Amino acid sequence: MRTREELGAGACILALVGIILWTGLAHAWTSAQPGYVWSFPRDHWARDGYKTEWWYFTGHLGTGGEPAPRFGFQFTFFRVGVSRDAPDGGSAWAANNIIMGHAALTDLETGRHRFSELVVRAAPLLAGFGRHPDPRIAWSVGPPGTPDKWQLSWNGKGFDFIMADAGKSFSFSLSTRPLKPLVYQGPGGVSRKGEGATEASHYYSFTRMATSGTVRLDGKEWEVSGTSWMDKEFGSNQLGQDTEGWDWFSLQFDDGREVMLYLLRNRDGGTRYAGATLVETGGAVRYLQPGEWKLNATGQWTSPASGAPYPAGWILDIPDAAIRAVIAPRVADQENRSALIPNLFYWEGSVRIESGSGARIGHGYVELTGYGENSRPPI
Amino acid sequence: MVRYFYRTVSAHWRTNPVLYALTVLGVALGVASVISIRILNQSAVASFAAGVRTIGGAADIVVTGKGGTLPDAAYPLVRGTPGVTAAWPAFETTVAVEGRPGTFARLLGVDLLAPALDLWGAFSGFAPGAPVAAGRGWAAATPELARVMGWVPGDRFKVRDGAGSRQLRFGALIDFERWGASGERQALVMDIADAQSLFGGAGTLHRIGVTAAEGADLPALAARIEDRLGGRADAVTPSERTGQARELLGAFRLNLTAMSLVSLLVGTFLVFSSMRACLVWQRREFGVLRSLGSTPGQVLALILGEAALLGVMGVAIGILAGYWTAVWNLEAVSSTLTNVYMLREIESLEVSRGTLALAVFAGLGGALSGTLLPALDVWRRDTRTLLDTLPAQSAGTAVTRVLFRIGLVLVVGALAWYWLIAWRWRLTGFVLSTAVMLCLPLLTPWLVQHLAARVRVPDFGFRYGVRSLGATLANTSFSVSSLAMAVCLLVGITLLVESFRETLVRWVDRSLTADVFVTATVGARPGPDATLSAQLVERLAGRPDVEGVGPLRRLFLAVEGQRVAVVGVDLSRPAARQRLALLSGGDVVGRAIRERGILIGEPLSSSASVTVGDTIEIEGSQGPVRLPVSGIYRDYTQGGSVTMDLGLMAETLGPGALTSVALQLRPGADPEAVAAGIESRHPRGSLRVRSNRHLKEDIFRVFDQTFAVTRILQVMSLIIAACAITLTLLVVAQEKASEIALYRTLGAFRRQVFLLFVSKGTAMAFLGLVLGFAGGIGLGAILIFVIQKSYFGWSIEWAWPWWPLAGEALAIVCAAVLASLYPAFKASRTPANELCHADA
């Protein structure tokens, strides 16, 4: 017999999924279609009319000029559209978007991973999205118990973002500057997620950005610098009904190349759709066809907290690009477990990349969603 | 012995069912009177606590504004306070649900887009996203409300508040139990933005619920939250909030508790005397048992066993009787809570384990303790003494004198202690009352003895009956004491209630001078959110039958840390001045206008220790303001009030709409017709329009409801007193069987014996009345001048309610005469051969 908590948790996750699905069906949200005319820097800001949108930053940071990274981090703002109608002006709580914020910091030295999150309505009191040319792209009150805000802003060349979580005792404030040009993930910036008409998103990345700032952890503060990867994606109903989750990779090679690849999985665990992009050292982009690359999982790690069995270790082959990469998590437990939304958990972590002979050839971030019971991601 | 025990118990029931039934009844009444009031008392607090839980959910801390509400901007501050793990805002109002007259619902606006507190899990039939995405008016309802209204998802319905009618759509059921809360049966839940927007509450929150980090120091967290809000809010735990309710209801509960304690005393006394009477009747039987070889220990066990059995029966009946007595009085107490304290009504009665334990303690404990001394007496006496004629129970003069002196010392000592030391101590009144109640049984034996001895006996009639009371002093004293205590309670409460009523009549006549009173309501109830629109006030003033309009704006604010009504009136109007019964002379109101001062009610002056010339702090929505006190007026509202000029109110506490107006009609206009006319032109539940006469009637109806609960004690006291008399006379009939037989042998008619016992009963009633009236006057004085003053801050003028007192005296005498009929009948049937039997 299920406990009350389990039932409540189920109801919550269903409700969140439901909010997104229901609102998607009820209103004519704009889906990602070819022919979108990009305009920068304006498109760094929120695009109303699309149901979901996110700004995703992952990276590695070293301290004291050391080449080896000390921290891995993730910083994400999600916008979830609830209604296309403009909010009713009668109340300061009126909102037509929900903001979710996820941030994680992995201390690669100690192997400790921390995750922070927030879910608030995008009402002027609590959170919101700026409009170009206001430098603020998105902002929110911090997680409960944290007086400081989370914010993402455009600094003219790159992005600045700050987060803090007093309860989890960590914060970071980072500034980025692209080292390579912006990359569209998919022709025209349309990234297909399936064969359905709406199964696509508008997607671009900054695959290598110089990053610096400060990190605070358990009362200690570090000046940090390193590189990061930024994804911006927006669309509506981009995932097919039978999509259970995805594996997503952002890999930065030491020779200056980058690879982004993703595999969308069916409920039976098979690959439903996949895509990959290779960015050459000079910034040239090549969209890899399915036969041009191969990714095999080589290990598994089961989360003791969620019970979800995740792949942990892969071999990536891109023969045409002479890439054979052995990918392995730097820390096994980099699972982000939501305390706000029951049954929301996913693995998002720093990975090292080695050659077949064991030499370091790069590093990156991997995201694994939809593993474990009832864990279909709400996006 | 066990078999004998069962046989003897059933035999006793068969041979003297009245005595046994009375004994069980005595225990049951004692238990019932104790627990009925306790049940009501606990249910009142439990009802409020349930309301707190519904509003606060499973919050560790609830934040409320000192000015009644919080600004929206308070939420991010509360949420961001270190130590908080979740915070959720709530906007609330009460609405009348159209389509079913008399149906009201609490409407809660909460953040339905935040996954805090498993809120989404509380919904069933939840169309996800609908609250916001479906546009205005989506509402979830509690199963009870949906059932009553017959709603199915998608149904549209209308609700009404003071500002008008709104259409909502029933979207889902919400089960508060699953939200970690309970209580509210008829409630609607909407998204906070929608609720604020539809019900004119933009920018306003009523509370913020907070969940604290595990192991957090809650008082420290509460202090941090208050600090972040600049001290303009209260952050309290739900238990503290319930504690505040206890405090708010303190005076009311105090009355109930005091009555409960008195009933415990009187009830236990009756149990004690019932058991004692029962034992006297069996005394000779114990002698027979002893002569047949039973040991003293076996006899003792038999006595205590029977007492325990009777006690258990009494407790069982008493619990049922107490519960039904509480049910019978539920409406009155519930109405008091809603009318006087603006709290939710009692939805169900709570019978706690503590209450049941108290019932067992009072019933069984009283029965066993009442039995113990006589049982020990039986235990230590030899067989011959037990079989002998019952010993005369005339206590020695020395003993009665000592008891009398102790009684006097108790009263005089208590009074001296009060005048010299303890007059400032709040509980003094209760100590004095207890002293008065306790001195009655101490004074009674000596008074009975001496008064009986002074009666001259010309013949075998009434006066002989009176004189013979001294011969059965121990039993008579119990009976007279019981009666005196009951009368004392009756008279004391009657004096308090009637004096208070008289005072209130004078106060109301002075304060309510307008012809018609129009008050804004929300859900048919006045409240801080109910206001009158300026257009409505203008329309009322423009009526041809209206000569003048007295504006009034009422806020509920924290004044010197206490939440009281702050009333704004136009002090320049003579009518406004007249309504205040000022305690000091001179042009107090003129001074208040000139000095920009305020006037405060007597209870507030007393509880906050503030007098004319001092300043007091009022927590307005714009922050605290400090204003000088220019005068004090008589005030009979709960906790007191503040009155100030409307202009000063707007300036210092912020502008706002009026909450009521008093209409002065032109000569010849009919107030009832005008009130009915105004009410009929406005939606039901949005205005309360009452003529002067109706308003006064309402005030006294509420007053009478408030004191209706005292009926329990009055009725119980009367029954207990009657039981005591019957029991005593039955015992006397048994004790004096041989004496009665002698009278019969000497030629006394049955009629004369009958009259003798009726005389005894009547004499005991008179003695009890005299003592009880004396004690009751003292108790009344303590209640009026000490207890009410120190707890409520109300000045009550003493009044002699002659007719009610005379009626009660007559009822007591009648009850005593009736109570003595059966024992008199039994005694008159005593056969002459009882003399030989007794002396054998």
**Is residue A255 in a domain?**
yes
Q: How far is A341 from chain B (nearest CA, A)?
A: 6
Amino acid identity of residue A149, one-letter, is K
Question: Is the Cβ pair A83, B132 closer than 8 Å?
Answer: yes
> Between chains, do B129 and A26 touch, taking CB under 8 Å as contact?
yes
Average pLDDT, chain A: 89
Residue indicated by tokens 């007098």: B611
Q: A85 to chain B: nearest residue by CA?
A: B133
User: What number is the average pLDDT over the span B594-613?
Assistant: 86
Q: In sequence order, what DSSP letters do the residues of A138-158 get, joined into one string? A: EEEE-STT--SEEEEEE-SSS
- Of B824 and B332, the structure prediction assigns the larger pLDDT to B824
- Report whether pLDDT(A157) > 60: yes
Output the DSSP codes for B702-743. HHHHHHHTHHHHHHHHHHHHHHHHHHHHHHHHHHTHHHHHHH
The chain A residue lying nearest B212, using CA atoms, is: A145
| pLDDT value, residue A290 | 87
What are the tokens at B238?
A: 């739900």
> Of the candidates B375, B329, B359, which has an alpha carbon nearest to the alpha carbon of residue B267?
B359
Rounded mean pLDDT of B407-413? Answer: 89
For residue B501, pLDDT beyond 80: yes
B283 to each of A56, B276, B298, B364, B472, how far by Cα in Å? 95, 11, 14, 21, 16
ipTM of the complex as predicted: 0.88
B197: nearest CB among A94, A95, A341: A94
Indicate whether A63 belongs to any domain. yes
Distance from C-alpha of A230 to C-alpha of A246, rounded to nearest angstrom: 18
- Nearest Cβ partner for A119 among B115, B136, B197: B115
- Per-residue pLDDT band for B587 (boundaries 50, 70, 90) equals confident
- Structurally, chain A folds into a number of domains equal to 1
Q: Which residue of A has its CA nearest to B195?
A: A91
Q: A29 or B833, which is more confident?
A: A29
Exposure string for B442-480, b = 16+ CB within 10 A, e = fewer: bbbbbbbbebbeebeeeebebbbbbbbbbbbbbbbbbbb
Q: Inform me whether the pLDDT recorded for A25 exceeds 50.
A: no
Give the closest of A16, A27, A167 to B85, CB-based: A167
Interchain contact, A340 vs B116, CB within 8 Å: yes
Nearest CB neighbour to A12, from listed B79, B87, B120:
B120
Q: What is the pLDDT of residue B345?
A: 53
Distinct helix (H) and strand (E) counts, chain A? 1, 25
Mean pLDDT of the A135-155 span: 96
Domain that holds residue A40: 4-368
pLDDT, greater one: B445 or A350: A350
A26 neighbourhood in chain B, CB within 8 Å: 129, 133-134
Is A376 a member of any domain?
A: no
Residue of B nearest to A116 (CA): B85
Q: Do B197 and A91 touch (CB under 8 A)?
A: yes
pLDDT at residue B196 greater than cutoff 80: yes
Share of chain B above pLDDT 70, in %: 77
Residue B84 to chain A, least CA–CA distance (Å): 4
Residue B837 gets the label, from left (phi > 0), alpha (psi -120 to 50) or beta, of alpha
Interface contacts (A, B; CB < 8 Å): 140
> Where residue A210 sits, what CATH number does that domain have?
2.40.370.10
The lowest-confidence range among A344-353, B4-13, B709-718 is: B709-718
pLDDT band of B335, cuts 50, 70, 90: low
Which of A91, A99, A116 to mutate to test binding with chain B, by most B CBs within 10 Å of its CB?
A91
Least trusted range by pLDDT, from B92-106, B202-216, B305-319 = B92-106
How far is the C-alpha of A165 from the C-alpha of B650, rounded, in Å? 43
- How crowded is the C-beta side of A302, counted as CA atoms within 13 Å? 4
Helix or strand (DSSP H, E) at B406? helix B397-420
Contact B76 A146 (CB under 8 A): no
Q: Which of B73, B83, B132 lies closest to A82 in CB terms?
A: B132
Residue A273 has pLDDT above 80, yes or no: yes
Distances, alpha carbon A269 to alpha carbons A102, A241, A263, A370, A371, in Å: 26, 14, 11, 10, 9
Q: B603-612, pLDDT tens digit by residue?
A: 888 878 888 8
Q: How far is B22 from chain A (nearest CA, A)?
A: 53
pLDDT of B277: 66
Name the residue in chain B with its Cα closest to that of A148.
B80
Which pLDDT score, from 0 to 100, does residue B78 have?
95
pLDDT of residue A172: 97
DSSP B549-614: EEEEEEEEEEETTEEEEEEEE-TTSHHHHHT--BSS-SSHHHHHHHHT-EEEEHHHHHHTT--TT-
Distance from chain centroid for Cα A121:
20
Q: Which chain A residue has the Cα nearest residue B119?
A: A12
Q: Which of B72, B75, B79 to mutate to test the interface with A (most CBs of A within 10 A)?
A: B79
Strands B687-691 and B516-520: antiparallel
The token duo for B66 is 């000192």
Is the Cβ pair A12, B135 closer than 8 Å?
no
User: Which residue of B132, B179, B206, B210 to mutate against A (max A Cβ within 10 Å)?
Assistant: B132
What is the band of B360 on the pLDDT scale with cuts at 50, 70, 90?
confident
Q: Which residues of A touch B182 (CB under 8 A)?
A: none
Q: Distance (Å, rounded) from C-alpha A340 to C-alpha B158?
A: 35
Q: What are the sequence ranges of the domains in chain B?
A: 1-56+268-388, 61-236, 390-512+695-840, 516-668
Q: Min CA distance, A177 vs chain B (Å)?
A: 31
Contacts of B587 (CB under 8 A, 6+ apart): none
Nearest-angstrom CA–CA distance, B195 and B201? 8
End-to-end CA, chain A: 29
**Cβ(B76)–Cβ(A125) below 8 Å:** yes
The torsion defined by the Cα of B30, B34, B39 and B40, in degrees rounded to 10, comes to: 110
Cα atoms in the Cβ-side hemisphere of radius 13 Å centred on B461: 4
Residue B45 has pLDDT above 70, yes or no: no
User: Cβ separation of A19 and B111 shorter than 8 Å?
Assistant: no
How far does B619 lie from chain A, in Å, by closest CA?
24
The pLDDT of B682-711, averaged and rounded, is: 74
Question: For position B453, what pLDDT does the model report?
Answer: 79
Report the gap between the CA of B123 and the closest CA in chain A (Å). 8
Is there a contact between B197 and A88 if contact means CB atoms under 8 Å apart? yes
**Does the pLDDT value for residue B11 go beyond 90?**
no
Contact at 8 Å (CB) between A316 and A260? no
> What tens digit of pLDDT does each residue of B285-296 get?
777 777 777 787
From A26, A94, A145, residue closest to B82, measured CB to CB:
A145
Whether the per-residue pLDDT at B809 is higher than 50: the answer is yes
Q: Which band of pLDDT confidence, cut at 50, 70 and 90, is reported for residue A212?
A: very high
Contact B115 A16 (CB under 8 A): yes
Which of A15, A119, A144 faces B84 most closely, judged by CB atoms? A144
pLDDT at B267: 61
CA-based nearest residue in chain B for residue A164: B80
Pairwise CB contact (< 8 Å): A87 & B115: no
